[in-house]
């Protein structure tokens, strides 16, 4: 029996923490079980046993484990190995991954789920020396995991009733059976299966409404018939309800849903169920579902694989769930299918260069034609005085026509709120967030202004604080203002707005979608939320109110993103019998990209963007790692970023770009600087990562910088 455990704690400190294992707990303790332990000033913190051993740390008294919270592991060996990979790759600590991975209920509770045997000593009667910190992760950890029996699983892995059955066996679970595929869909299906014989990852490039979801359903059914589990990843919670309805109709209760709008308890229940002998066969979820335990993962589907939402921005781990899912599948010997109408350039590049398989589905189901996209030159409309607020005359006419025919309309504006900002029309004063370097956004419904970075909210001042002018006005436009224009122009239409502000709760967005699907509303106004894989039958007109806000973002991916977003939102039009109409309003009608969108010519967009990426050395030809530096003092962060740049140049030479101020250079009272490291494919990543962590440690060791934050964003989006 071991007398020590090395524990992962949910803290941003590297390494594992050693604690003594009281003799009464030793018989039950296993790698993958949670413990509560004293840590720092906290009485107890919940951690995860990574390793049991008998090597007493030299020269330090270790604190004892307070409670053992599990009788059997809640984290499986493969899961833990993946977390380690994430910590390495994304340059964070295993503790940060652990913190992000476990549902709150499993990591916050101070109440043990299994009480300690009665002969336990009260923990506060023990001496409390500091726990010793191990320098690095124990290399023996995986072996340790493998050596541990996993009693809770023995029934589940081999003894389940699934496996070997025919497709018909499980369909009974749901109420409807598998759809009959069209000839084009059947061909695509067998191409995907063929492709998997050579490549573990296949990219399905299928136009909007081609029936990708129907293909997924067939592939899921096959995987289940082989006794495999399926992970179905979606970029956005909004999409889960429509999709789960479709999948539930076929797979019934064998499907579990996992995302952050569910309560902690529900998520903890899904987690526990995945460990049981009767886990869900299919998990539908957003990015955090890559952390779940799977016992026999056979298929991973990533729908809308191009979506930026798969990347977690803050806090660490700053991971891309699509990429983690691919690694996860590879480690379990599972296949991966990436599906989209508008692939990420990186994925398409991987497919074209033979790293992934590629299957194309070029026609819509039922022979419906792709929508006709009309480009509307806003400046011309203005000159001719044909703009009705934010809507051009052709769009207004089309909306009238659609409403008269009992059809529905989607209007897309890539900005929420009433206006991006309030501005004094006399002196130009703009209210800004006191904590962040951004203008506040006006929300007319609430009559207040909000910072979209930190949530700071305040009333609109009655007078301009700079020049005393009354009547401060909104500048530019967002979704709220469009809603107003519509109410004025189409007095009888029922309008709904879908953006972050109206979808804070799960029921709120489900209600908006349900209402629109049931045609209780006629016009849906929204941000990029409305661009995603939603399927509504009666939408005949889509309006893109301003392509320009997207096109002119200061980001080398702006054109790729614009193509994706506009093609996706256009794809919401005319998904059934009739050909839909799309009105794309822009000041830049001659731009080649606009032509590519109108023609639905992804390949042309790909070729022109890739030429640019190659010339400038951008991904996928290089790999970016951004070093973020933050401090309360602007002068300190400047000094720090200069010194960091010098140090990094010693190792990386001209691959270091910066330092610069990001577009928002102060967030939550911290000044931000960043340095970009641009690595060509030949650079060995492990070495680069080691150098980066060393530089960070060197900087943080200086007293001047001890309060600074330095972190990395690997493969930023
Ligand atoms: P995508 O995911 O490619 O956008 P969907 O799977 O949502 O496309 O398909 C578009 C519409 O066509 C959906 O309403 C879907 O039910 C219908 N559809 C697609 N394929 C079939 C099929 N083989 N049989 C019946 N309906 C289908
Ligand atoms: Zn003023
Ligand atoms: Zn703010």
Q: Which atom of ligand 1 is nearest to the CA of 215?
A: 6
Query: Which tens digits make up the pLDDT trace of 352-362?
Result: 999 999 999 99
Query: Which strands, in side-by-side order, build the sheet including 457-459?
Result: 441-443, 448-450, 457-459
Protein residue closest via CA to atom 5 of ligand 1: 211
Least confident interval from 129-133, 161-165, 376-380: 161-165
Protein residue closest via CA to atom 11 of ligand 1: 209
pLDDT value at position 163?
Answer: 34
Q: 132 forms bridges with which residues in the sheet?
A: 18
Residues with CB under 5 A from ligand 3 (ion): 433, 435-436, 451, 453-454, 456
Angle at 510 between CA 507 and CA 516, to 5 degrees: 140
CA 696–ligand 3 middle distance (angstroms) = 27
pLDDT value at position 98?
Answer: 97
CA 189–ligand 1 middle distance (angstroms) = 14
Cis before 317 (ω within 30): yes
Query: Which tens digits make up the pLDDT trace of 182-240?
Result: 999 999 999 999 999 999 999 999 998 899 999 999 999 999 999 999 999 999 876 67
**Which residues line ligand 1 at a C-beta cut-off of 6 Å?**
179-182, 185, 206, 208-214, 365, 533, 535, 575
Q: Closest by alpha carbon to 497, among 411, 430, 392? A: 411
Protein residue closest via CA to atom 19 of ligand 1: 211
pLDDT value at position 169?
Answer: 43
The H or E element spanning position 713 is strand 709-714
CA 454–ligand 3 middle distance (angstroms) = 4
Which of helix, strand or coil describes residue 421? Answer: strand
User: Given a cut of 70, is residue 40 above it in pLDDT?
Assistant: yes
User: Given a cut of 80, is residue 162 above it in pLDDT?
Assistant: no
pLDDT value at position 418?
Answer: 57
pLDDT value at position 121?
Answer: 33
Query: Which tens digits make up the pLDDT trace of 404-443?
Result: 999 999 999 876 655 567 878 777 788 888 888 778 888 8
| pLDDT tier, 170 (very low <50, low <70, confident <90, very high otherwise) | very low
| pLDDT tier, 126 (very low <50, low <70, confident <90, very high otherwise) | very low
User: Given a cut of 50, is residue 136 above it in pLDDT?
Assistant: no
Residue pointed to by tokens 């490039």: 205
User: Given a cut of 50, is residue 115 above it in pLDDT?
Assistant: no
Handedness of CA 244, 245, 248, 254 (dihedral sign): positive
pLDDT value at position 549?
Answer: 78
pLDDT value at position 535?
Answer: 76
Helix and strand numbers (H, E) in the chain are 22, 29
Angstrom distance (rounded) from CA 119 to CA 128: 20
Half-sphere exposure of 388 (CA within 13 A, CB side): 17
Between 23 and 166, residue with greater pLDDT: 23
* Domain extents in the chain: 4-77+84-128, 170-366, 368-416+482-612, 419-476, 623-714
Protein residue closest via CA to atom 18 of ligand 1: 211
CA 182–ligand 1 middle distance (angstroms) = 10
Q: Closest by alpha carbon to 250, among 168, 314, 318? A: 168
Q: 5 forms bridges with which residues in the sheet?
A: 19, 52
- State mean pLDDT over 129-135: 41
Mean pLDDT of the chain, nearest integer? 86
Query: Which tens digits make up the pLDDT trace of 633-692?
Result: 999 999 999 999 999 999 999 999 989 888 788 888 999 999 999 999 999 999 999 999
pLDDT value at position 598?
Answer: 96
CATH fold for domain 4-77+84-128 = GIY-YIG endonuclease (3.40.1440)
- State mean pLDDT over 695-701: 97
Query: Which tens digits make up the pLDDT trace of 240-297?
Result: 778 888 999 999 999 999 987 788 899 999 999 999 999 999 999 999 999 999 999 9
CA 424–ligand 2 middle distance (angstroms) = 5
Protein residue closest via CA to atom 15 of ligand 1: 211
pLDDT value at position 475?
Answer: 64
Which of helix, strand or coil describes residue 95? Answer: helix
pLDDT value at position 176?
Answer: 61
What Å distances lie between residue 695 and 291, 347, 559, 624, 640, CA to CA?
Answer: 30, 32, 35, 17, 12
What Å distances lie between residue 558 and 107, 322, 375, 601, CA to CA?
Answer: 39, 20, 19, 17
CATH number for 170-366 (one of 3.90.650.10, 3.40.630.10, 3.40.50.300, 3.10.105.10): it is 3.40.50.300
| pLDDT tier, 143 (very low <50, low <70, confident <90, very high otherwise) | low
Same fold, 170-366 and 368-416+482-612: yes
Query: Which tens digits make up the pLDDT trace of 364-376?
Result: 898 888 899 999 9
Q: Hey, which of 178, 203, 207, 209 would you mutate to test ligand 1's pocket, going by the most ligand atoms within 8 Å of its Cβ?
A: 209
pLDDT value at position 352?
Answer: 97
Which ligand approaches the C-alpha of residue 435 most closely? 3
Contact 34/46 with Cβ under 8 angstroms?
yes
Contact 450/412 with Cβ under 8 angstroms?
no
Q: Does the global pTM surpass 0.75?
A: yes
Architecture of 368-416+482-612 per CATH?
3-Layer(aba) Sandwich (3.40)
User: Given a cut of 80, is residue 522 above it in pLDDT?
Assistant: yes
Which class is domain 623-714? Answer: alpha beta
Per the structure block, which two tokens stand in for 182?
């069209």
Task: Give the rounded percent of residues in the chain with a pLDDT score beyond 90.
Answer: 62
CA 717–ligand 1 middle distance (angstroms) = 30
Residue 525 makes CB contacts below 8 A (sequence gap 6+) with 410, 411, 413, 479, 482, 483, 486, 495, 496, 497, 498
Ranges of H-type helices in 373-499 = 378-383, 393-404, 479-489
| pLDDT tier, 105 (very low <50, low <70, confident <90, very high otherwise) | confident
Per the structure block, which two tokens stand in for 356?
């992934």
Protein residue closest via CA to atom 20 of ligand 1: 211
Q: Which atom of ligand 1 is nearest to the CA of 179?
A: 24
pLDDT value at position 239?
Answer: 67
Q: Closest by alpha carbon to 261, among 292, 289, 299? A: 289
Between 222 and 512, residue with greater pLDDT: 222
- State mean pLDDT over 585-610: 95
Q: Which atom of ligand 1 is nearest to the CA of 537?
A: 14
- State mean pLDDT over 452-468: 87
What is the DSSP track for 154-210? Answer: HHHHHH-S-SS--HHHHHTTSSS-PPPPPHHHHHHHHHHHHHHHH-SEEEEEE-TTS
| pLDDT tier, 533 (very low <50, low <70, confident <90, very high otherwise) | low
- State mean pLDDT over 87-94: 97
């Amino acid at each position: 029996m071991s007398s020590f455990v090395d524990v992962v704690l949910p803290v941003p400190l590297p390494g594992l923490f050693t604690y003594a294992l009281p003799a009464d707990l030793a018989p039950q303790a296993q790698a993958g079980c949670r413990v509560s332990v004293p840590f720092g000033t906290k009485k107890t913190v919940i951690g995860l046993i990574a390793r049991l051993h008998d090597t007493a740390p030299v020269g330090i008294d270790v604190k004892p484990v307070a409670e053992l919270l599990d009788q059997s592991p809640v984290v499986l060996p493969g899961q833990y190995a993946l977390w380690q990979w994430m910590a390495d790759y994304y340059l964070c600590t295993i503790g940060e991954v652990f913190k992000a991975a476990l549902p709150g209920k499993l990591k916050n509770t101070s109440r043990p789920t299994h009480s300690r045997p009665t002969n336990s000593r009260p923990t506060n009667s023990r001496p409390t020396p500091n726990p010793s910190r191990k320098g690095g992760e124990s290399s023996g950890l995986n072996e340790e995991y493998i050596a541990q029996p996993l009693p809770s699983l023995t029934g589940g892995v081999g003894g389940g009733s699934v496996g070997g059955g025919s497709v018909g066996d499980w369909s009974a679970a749901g109420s409807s059976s598998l759809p009959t595929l069209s000839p084009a869909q059947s061909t695509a299906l067998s191409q995907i299966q063929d492709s998997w014989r050579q490549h573990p990852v296949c990219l399905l490039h299928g136009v909007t409404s081609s029936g990708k979801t129907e293909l997924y359903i067939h592939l899921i059914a096959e995987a289940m018939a082989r006794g495999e589990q399926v992970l179905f990843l979606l970029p956005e919670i909004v999409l889960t309800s429509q999709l789960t309805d479709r999948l539930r109709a076929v797979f019934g209760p064998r499907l579990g849903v996992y995302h952050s709008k569910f309560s902690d308890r529900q998520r903890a229940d899904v987690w526990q169920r995945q460990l049981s002998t009767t886990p869900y066969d299919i998990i539908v979820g957003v990015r955090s579902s890559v952390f779940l335990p799977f016992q026999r993962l056979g298929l991973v589907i990533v729908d809308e694989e191009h979506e930026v939402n798969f990347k977690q921005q803050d806090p660490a781990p700053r991971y891309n769930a699509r990429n983690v899912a691919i690694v996860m599948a590879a480690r379990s010997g599972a296949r991966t299918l990436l599906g989209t109408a508008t692939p990420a350039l990186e994925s398409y590049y991987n497919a074209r260069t033979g790293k992934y398989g590629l299957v194309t589905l070029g026609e819509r189901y039922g022979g419906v034609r792709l929508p006709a996209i009309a480009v509307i030159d806003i400046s011309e409309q203005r000159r001719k005085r044909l703009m009705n607020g934010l809507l051009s005359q052709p769009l207004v006419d089309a909306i009238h026509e659609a409403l008269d025919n009992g059809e529905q309309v989607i209007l897309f504006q890539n900005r929420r709120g009433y206006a991006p900002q309030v501005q004094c029309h006399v002196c130009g004063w703009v209210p800004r967030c006191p904590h962040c370097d951004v203008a506040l956004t006006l929300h007319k419904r609430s009559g207040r202004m909000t910072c979209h970075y930190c949530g700071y909210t305040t009333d609109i001042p009655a007078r301009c604080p700079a020049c005393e002018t009354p009547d401060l006005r909104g500048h530019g436009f967002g979704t709220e203002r469009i809603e107003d224009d519509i109410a004025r122009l189409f007095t009888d239409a029922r309008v709904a707005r879908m953006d972050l502000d109206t979808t804070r709760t799960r029921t709120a967005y489900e209600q908006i979608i349900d209402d629109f699907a049931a045609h209780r509303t006629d016009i849906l106004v929204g941000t990029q939320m409305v661009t995603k894989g939603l399927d509504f039958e009666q939408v005949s007109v889509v309006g893109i109110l301003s392509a320009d806000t997207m096109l002119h973002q200061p980001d080398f991916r702006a054109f790729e993103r614009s193509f994706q977003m506009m093609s996706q939102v256009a794809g919401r039009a005319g998904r059934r019998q009739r050909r839909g109409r799309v009105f794309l309003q822009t000041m830049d009608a001659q731009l080649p990209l606009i032509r590519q969108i109108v023609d639905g010519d992804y390949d042309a967009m790909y070729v022109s963007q890739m030429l640019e990426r190659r010339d400038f050395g951008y991904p996928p030809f290089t790999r970016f790692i951004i070093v973020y530096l933050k401090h309360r003092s602007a002068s300190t962060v400047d000094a720090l970023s200069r010194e960091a740049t010098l140090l990094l140049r010693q190792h990386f030479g001209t691959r270091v770009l910066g330092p610069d101020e990001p577009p928002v250079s102060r967030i939550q009272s911290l000044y931000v600087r960043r340095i970009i490291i641009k690595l060509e494919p030949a650079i060995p990543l492990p070495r680069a990562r080691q150098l980066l962590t060393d530089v960070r440690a060197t900087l943080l060791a200086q007293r001047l910088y001890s309060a600074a934050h330095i972190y990395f964003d690997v493969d930023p989006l």
